[in-house]
Amino acid sequence: MKKIYKLILSFLILFFVASPLIETAKAQSPETLSLSFSVHIEFGRRSRDCRGLGICWFVFKDFDVNATARLQPNKNQLQILFPMEFVKTNPAQFENDVFIQEEDFQLPKETSFTLGSDRPLLIPKGEYSLRRSDKGMILNIPQK
C-alpha cells in the first residue's frame, strides 16, 4: 500500500511541476520564438570599403561583440539591439534617433539561416527610426 501511495504522490508532484513547463513550450511556437545572437557589426558602405553610413559587415562572434540580433517571425522583421556604450562611440550613425543605410546590404545565406530565415535577409537602403530602450537603441528592419 505504501508503494502505491508513494507512486501516486510522485506522479502528482511530477504533474504539477511539469505542467507549467509544457504550457510554456506550447506557447513558444516557431512563429513566435526568436533567439538573440551576439554579433559584430561594422558601419559604412561595402562599395566604399566600409566608409559612410549603414551596415557594411555583420558576423556572429563571441568576442568583440557590439550588438545582438534576432529575427522576429511573427512581426516579419530583423531586430538589432545596439548597447548604449556602442551608440555613444558611433554618434554619427545614431544621430537624431535615425539609422541611415546608404546602400542595400544582404546578409549571407548562412547568417540568415542561423537567425531563422529560409532566405537571405536584406537591409534595404533607407532611413529607419530607432527606438530607445533601457538596454540601448533598437533597429527594426521589415522583411518581405
Residues in the chain: 144
- Rounded Cα distance between 24 and 68, Å, is 24
% pLDDT > 90, the chain: 67
pLDDT at 84 over 60: yes
User: Residue ranges per domain, the chain?
Assistant: 1-30, 37-142
pLDDT of res. 124: 97
pLDDT of res. 144: 84
Q: Region 1-8: what's the mean pLDDT?
A: 67
pLDDT tens-digit series, residues 103-137: 999 999 999 999 999 999 999 999 999 999 999 99
Q: What pTM value is reported for the model?
A: 0.74
pLDDT tens-digit series, residues 9-38: 655 555 554 445 444 444 444 444 578 899
- Rounded Cα distance between 56 and 110, Å, is 17
DSSP secondary structure letters along the chain: -HHHHHHHHHHHHHHHHHHHHHHHHHHS-TTT----EEEEEEEEEGGGTSEEEEEEEEEE-SSS--EEEEEETTTTEEEEEEEHHHHHH-GGGGGGGEEEE-S-EEPPHHHHHHHT-SS--EE-SEEEEEEE-SSEEEEEEE--
CA angle 90, 93, 94 (to 5 degrees): 90
Q: Region 85-100: what's the mean pLDDT?
A: 95
Residue 42 cell numbers, joined: 561594422
